[in-house]
Structure 1
């Protein structure tokens, strides 16, 4: 069997994102998500997570979106994080302890709200950037949680709490799926071929995370994210019966980060 975690980034970004993620879990294939502690929809996302404990929830560490939870002087300007491009320009001037403290504060906020976190990853994958690897190591050791194994992370770092999740693929970032001039239903055959090409990369008896970004569009998402309308197509795909059947026909078992270890032992 092929073992897969389907993880939605950006839980907590906004109410629309939260509703799209929950729909994809309740009526679709989604098994896991990661929550942004610093964004407007965070409190709602926490309550939804508590109401649906079968959804695995981790922390989506943020350094390039929204407002920091700490008062670090080098990691933000006018009370907001730099966007990704400006972050890349400013990173050499940032205090590493401020980044570490900010990420700890984001995790601690979720823990203090009663969340049981399954794993860690980061917005724009900044935890995998070379300049942040030492901080990633410290965070993993402090909280004894696995990080998303993206872009060769485990080749760059020896982390003690990883779960043997060897694969990391984007399930949706392909031309027909991303074409917002056509609905999923109108280009279903082309979209299914793109999904099958991803599933063809899965290997028996290995665990792969498939990254997705489902959401319903609200004002917060539409006006503040360059990737907005296309997310509703991901909800449709994750909730489609044909896609579900495709996963079954490919011999895929679905897990989240919190139960993969137990099921591996069993």
Structure 2
């Protein structure tokens, strides 16, 4: 039984959650994500509570769309050289999560190699509680840069994430079925480990989407909005029955974003994509129903 069926939909129905990652990153992202949520162009977002603009994100939610579907974007990395952040936990040492400068490491691989699981647990709790104290009614959780998944070293921290999800009643971004896109190949060891982790999450009563997809994060040479749109429409037409989460990174390409971000134009294209009439037409033609993480959270609560 797929997650769509567990939500009460038919076996062959296609449900899509479009989630805007990195809410709270900066003002440009906050404004764009809030607008898209208010317009109903996307279904949800996840907020980076470690970033200075997270309080601005919470304020915009209160003012513009207080009922928006927003989760916590658990963060253990700080990837840009000109803009840094570090752990929120103040109740105990989290020295394994930060370098001598106090910032998170730049890469997920470094985070995987150094992170102490107990310190990760305390940091995930601190980020979750910070969102709740800011007045955000959390609906789900996910992982910034995939640093909890063990992609680089095999040292995943998913069981820690499951523990925190269970405490706070949060569904989690872990696909029940891995799906290779864009010609990528998924190594067999990752496939097998993922199956085990899915069983462990579901044994804890944590609701997961069936699939997780998204467009390429970076632009290649010669890419334009039209090539990015073609990629996105192809992904939409290829959706499988069940619940799919689409990872989006929308923002206006402002001077603020350009000051630290390596791909501001791609973020602007993603914002334009979800407002594009052709996208709405394909959603209708393919019979794709837009939902939010709230639907999965209600299901999780009903089974608790």
Q: Please give the range of the TM-score, normalised by the shorter of the 2 chains.
A: 0.7 to 0.9
Name the residue aligned to 2:28: 16
Match of 2:75 among 62, 72, 86: 62
- Which runs of 5 or more residues in structure 2 are unaligned? 1-12, 79-84, 179-190
Structure 1 pair 16–181 and aligned structure 2 pair: CA distance change class (3 A): farther
| Larger relative contact order (Cα-Cα within 8 Å, sequence gap ≥ 6) | 1
Name the residue aligned to 2:8: none
What's the TM-score once normalised by structure 1's chain length? Answer: 0.85
Structure 1 pair 6–22 and aligned structure 2 pair: CA distance change class (3 A): same
Instruction: Please report how far the alpha carbon of residue 253 of structure 1 lies from its aligned counterpart in structure 2 after TM superposition.
Output: 0.8
* 1:180-217 deviation line (CA, Å, top 9, x unaligned): 86652xx2xx444322321233223x111111100123
Structure 1 pair 200–138 and aligned structure 2 pair: CA distance change class (3 A): same
Aligned-partner SS, 1:9: strand
Name the residue aligned to 2:103: 80
What's the TM-score once normalised by structure 2's chain length? Answer: 0.75
Name the residue aligned to 1:198: 235
Q: Structure 1 residue 149 and structure 2 residue 181: aligned?
A: no
Instruction: Please report how far the alpha carbon of residue 174 of structure 1 lies from its aligned counterpart in structure 2 after TM superposition.
Output: 7.8
The answer (yes or no) to whether the contact 1:61–1:121 under 8 Å persists in 2 is yes
Name the residue aligned to 2:6: none
The answer (yes or no) to whether the contact 2:172–2:208 under 8 Å persists in 1 is no
- Which runs of 5 or more residues in structure 1 are unaligned? none
Structure 1 pair 222–202 and aligned structure 2 pair: CA distance change class (3 A): same
Aligned-partner SS, 2:164: helix
* 1:116-174 deviation line (CA, Å, top 9, x unaligned): 1110001101122233123122222222211101456862321134335201111x328
Of the structure 1 ranges 13-22 and 130-139, higher mean CA displacement relative to structure 2 is found in 130-139
Distance 1:137 1:263 in 2: 16
Aligned-partner SS, 1:229: helix
* Mapping of residues 1-266 of structure 1, within 5 Å: 1-27=13-39, 29-50=41-62, 51-65=64-78, 66-70=85-89, 72-77=94-99, 78-84=101-107, 88-89=109-110, 91-129=112-150, 130-150=155-175, 155-157=195-197, 158-159=200-201, 160-170=204-214, 172-173=215-216, 178=219, 183-184=224-225, 187=226, 190-204=227-241, 206-260=242-296
Distance 2:157 2:217 in 1: 28
